[in-house]
Amino acid sequence: MIMFNTQKIHFINNIDEHNTGDMATSPLNYFFDFFKSYNIIGHNVDCIKWMEISTHDIVIIGGGGLLYLVESWQKNIARLCEINLNVIAWGVGFNTHYGQPICYPLDITRFKLIGIRDYQHPSSLPYLPCVSCLAKELRKKIPTRREVGIVEHAAFPIDGFTYEKISNAHNFQTITDFIASSKVILSSSYHIVYWATLMGKRTICINPFSTKFEYFKYKPIFYSGNLEADITKTAIYEGCLEEAIELNNLFFDKVKEIVCSVIADKDNEYQKIYEMNRYVILNRALEDYVAQNPKPVMEKQTKRYPKWLIKLLCIFIPKKKNRARLRDRHMKQNCEIHTAKVSY
């Protein structure tokens, strides 16, 4: 076995804080206890830190609908497969929006290991449901509060109904509470349909906008225009949650084999150095901003840094406690002038 210095494990997914589905799909969320012993770095598929990735690192892409959605993502994933020998795709999905074909090809054979969330897809790739099935929130039991609940995709709203409604931009706790307390879920979001199915709810999909809706293993009813009739056709799929969990645990076993064969010894010292350096760089960026903007927005004689800047910087800090430290240092002093608490 060849041992390489400062080998790292990279986790790459779409980081969109306005889409809880995307934020819940990284396997790092559910297997952190294993990966924390290694040098781990998180990347946004839109903004990959290329200089950090070497040939003999491990790259884990997923989950989420990352394939054939955005041409720049296609190119980034293709490049990852070119520069790294150990690219793993964990529960990724094909996601071409109708009327927006992506022509940039992707050589699937370059992946070291792959599992896709699309069941019986024409690619014939092995099926692996989204790893978010491991979230403990999907097992909650709450008394029913409504017959029909609507959870819309924030970019694809659902209009014309009077039922109680939230969106996939709400946090995971709120969304799963809402699903758990509804008998029927009507949604235009892939992950809401998926989670509602796993939680044993009768599920109806409305306004499907992508090929991803065509490959559910446990299919929802698609809205026909007559909701009452559609509800009578819905089904509850017993055992689907347990099946999804089992498939992801089996996939994790394969990932562990790859990690142990590629990285000889556990080591997370580089991660600590990386986080420290990143934090220094981010603080300098804030200082540069203040220097270039000597008259920041003031309320009650208190300096207030732009929320967008803090939010952007937090994306690049992989460790939660360091993100909190950054927010506390630069935003906590202004908490009395915030009208709403924002979580990053």
CB contact set of 303 (below 8 Å; sequence gap of 6+): 290, 296, 333, 334
SS3 state at 96: coil
CATH of 8-133+242-262, one of 3.90.1070, 1.10.3470, 3.40.50, 1.10.10: 3.40.50
Rounded Cα gap, residues 39 and 266, in angstroms = 8
Q: What is the pLDDT of residue 85?
A: 96
H-helix or E-strand spanning residue 302: strand 302-303
DSSP state of 14: -
CB 212 within 8 A of CB 178: no
* Average confidence (pLDDT) per 10 residues, the chain, 344 residues: 68 92 94 93 93 96 94 96 97 95 88 98 97 96 96 96 96 96 98 98 97 98 98 97 98 97 80 56 56 50 57 68 70 41 30
Q: What is the pLDDT of residue 316?
A: 67
Q: What is the pLDDT of residue 308?
A: 64
Domain residue spans in the chain? 8-133+242-262, 136-236, 269-337
Q: What is the pLDDT of residue 245?
A: 98
Q: Tokens 């070291």 correspond to what residue?
A: 112
Q: What is the pLDDT of residue 307?
A: 66
CB 305 within 8 A of CB 331: yes
Q: What is the pLDDT of residue 255?
A: 98
Rounded Cα gap, residues 68 and 73, in angstroms = 8
CA 54 from chain centre, in angstroms, equals 24
Q: Please report how many Cα atoms fall inside a 13 Å half-sphere around the Cα of residue 92, on the Cβ side.
A: 27
Q: What is the pLDDT of residue 102?
A: 81
